[in-house]
């Protein structure tokens, strides 16, 4: 990986994947939503999109330097082009784009040596992938930086977004560990930061469907198969 700070989708992936086993610490489908939400969060930080009342609008349609972010920006309706009024639903976009977003980021990080891809077979038949840390992985640095920002109370918008997204996908190190005050702070960010809220609403929908015996539209992809 380059010396540049990882984007929010990259940082969330590195936090969520066990660096040795290559398996997500959270449910795979939840992580897919998280990566899509993180892409929206990064685009907002770069001034490319804005959000109002749950709808995302493009405010700067020029491609960002990051190739993957450019792909996702192009997938959003250009200004004034939505069929449903202003912009597109953040929640709906996260649900639709989740699997593609995670797959593209996994492919990119494997190509750059940040992750390795190990193919295995479930019951000797169905192939699935694991993504342990590669030789160029900054995963430990990402974790250390995250813990430092947590100790400081998430002092900047980027750290608050990452914490909110990690809590929204129910990453155990954020949602279950630490004292009560620390966990409460992370949960609050899920509702304060709109990309995390869009992820959380999809997670909640999936959990409700599972509790009712239905399907919420897909199982884990990318690094989560074979759970």
Check: CB of residue 153 under 8 Å from CB of residue 132: no
Mean pLDDT confidence for 30-37: 98
For residue 109, give every residue at least 6 positions away whose Cβ sits within 8 Å of its Cβ, in sequence order, or none. 1, 10, 13, 115, 131, 134
Q: Is the confidence at residue 215, as pLDDT, over 60?
A: no
Higher pLDDT residue, 175 or 46? Answer: 46
- Measure Cα distances from 43 to 77, 85, 126, 152, 183 in Å: 14, 21, 36, 25, 27
Structure tokens, 35: 């990566």
Tokens representing residue 124 in the block: 């000797």
What pLDDT, on the 0 to 100 scale, is given for residue 180? 82
Residue 77 carries which DSSP code?
P
Q: Quick check: 227 pLDDT over 90?
A: no
91 in Cβ contact with 198 (< 8 Å): yes
pLDDT at residue 85 in the model: 58
Check: CB of residue 132 under 8 Å from CB of residue 116.
yes
Between 72 and 123, where is the model more confident? 72
**pLDDT over threshold 60, residue 120:** yes
Q: How many CB atoms lie within 10 A of CB 33?
A: 29
Higher pLDDT, residue 214 or 144: 144
Mean pLDDT of the chain: 89
What are the residues facing 129 on neighbouring strands? 119
| Nearest to 132, CA basis, from 144, 123, 120 | 120
Query: Three-state DSSP class for 184?
Result: helix
Q: What is the 3-state secondary structure (H, E, C) of 10-75?
A: HHHHHHHECCCCCCECCCHHHHHHHHHHHHHHHHHHCCCEEEECCEEEECCCCCCCCHHHHHHHHH
């Amino acid at each position: 990986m380059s010396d540049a700070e990882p984007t929010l989708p990259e940082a969330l992936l590195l936090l969520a994947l066990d660096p040795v086993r290559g398996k997500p610490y959270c449910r795979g489908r939840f992580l897919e939503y998280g990566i899509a939400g993180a892409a929206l969060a990064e685009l907002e930080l770069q001034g490319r999109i804005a959000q109002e009342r749950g709808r995302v609008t493009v405010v700067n349609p020029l491609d960002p330097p990051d190739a993957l972010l450019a792909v996702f920006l192009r997938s959003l309706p250009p200004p004034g082009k939505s069929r449903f009024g202003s912009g597109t639903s953040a929640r709906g976009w996260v649900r639709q784009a989740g699997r593609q977003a995670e797959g593209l980021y996994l492919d990119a990080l494997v190509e750059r040596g940040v992750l390795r891809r190990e193919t295995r077979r479930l019951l000797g038949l169905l192939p699935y992938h694991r993504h342990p840390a590669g030789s160029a992985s900054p995963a430990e640095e990402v974790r250390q930086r995250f813990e430092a920002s947590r100790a400081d109370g998430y002092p900047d918008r980027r750290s608050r977004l990452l914490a909110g997204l990690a809590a929204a996908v129910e990453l155990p190190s954020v949602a279950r560990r630490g004292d009560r005050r620390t966990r409460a702070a992370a949960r609050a960010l899920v509702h304060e930061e709109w990309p995390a809220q869009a992820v959380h609403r999809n997670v909640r929908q999936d959990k409700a469907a599972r509790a009712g015996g239905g399907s919420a539209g897909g199982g884990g992809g990318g690094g989560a198969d074979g759970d």
